[in-house]
Amino acid sequence: MTKDERTTSTVFIQVAKAVIAAFMGIRKQSDLENDAANLKPAQVIIGGLIGAMLFVVSILILVKIIVNLN
């Protein structure tokens, strides 16, 4: 694995963690400072939009399952 690939996957995981934390509204100060130092706003915004879509899809799947149960 090259250094660039490692960096990309690390960034991806960090963005994912930041977005999940944002959706719950809970984040440690140290993690926040780490986010602020390492992530670009565009990465977080794109991550947030993807997170919002996943969130919508997951509620839709839940709703479909519940409706089909009855």
Partner 1 sequence: MAAVHGDVHGHGHDDHHPTGIMRWVTTTNHKDIGTMYLWFSLTMFFTGGFLAMGIRAELFQPGIQILEPELFNSFTTLHGLIMVFGAIMPAFVGFANWQVPMMIGAPDMAFARMNNWSFWLLIPAALLLISSFFVPGGAAAGGWTFYPPLSTQGGLGVDMMLFAVHILGASSIMGSINIITTILNMRAPGMTLMKMPLFVWTWLITAYLLVLAMPVLAGVVTMLITDRHFDTSFFNAAGGGDPVLFQHIFWFFGHPEVYIMILPAFGIVSEIIPTFSRKPLFGYSSMVYATASIAILSCIVWAHHMFTAGMPTVGQLFFMYATMLIAVPTGVKVFNWTATMWRGAMSFETPMLFAIGFIFLFVIGGFSGVICAIVPIDIQVQDTYYVIAHFHYVLVSGALFALFGGAYYWLPKWTGHMYDETLGKLHFWLSMIFFNMAFFVQHFLGLAGMPRRIPDYALQFADFNMISSLGAFGFGLTQLLFVYIVIKCIRSKEPAPEKPWEGATTLEWTHLPTPAPYHSFETPPVVK
Kindly state the smallest distance separating residue 66's Cβ from partner 1, in Å: 6
Site for partner 1 in 21-40 (CB under 8 A): 21-29, 31-33, 36
Contact flag: residue 42 with partner 1 (CB under 8 A)? no
In contact, 48 and 17? CB cutoff 8 Å: no
Alpha helices in the chain (DSSP H): 3-24, 29-38, 41-69
Rounded to an integer, what distance in angstroms lies between the CA atom of residue 51 and that of residue 33?
A: 21
Q: Is 11 in the site for partner 1 (CB under 8 A)?
A: no
Contacts to partner 1 by CB under 8 A: 21-29, 31-33, 36, 48, 52, 55-56, 59-60, 62-64, 66-67
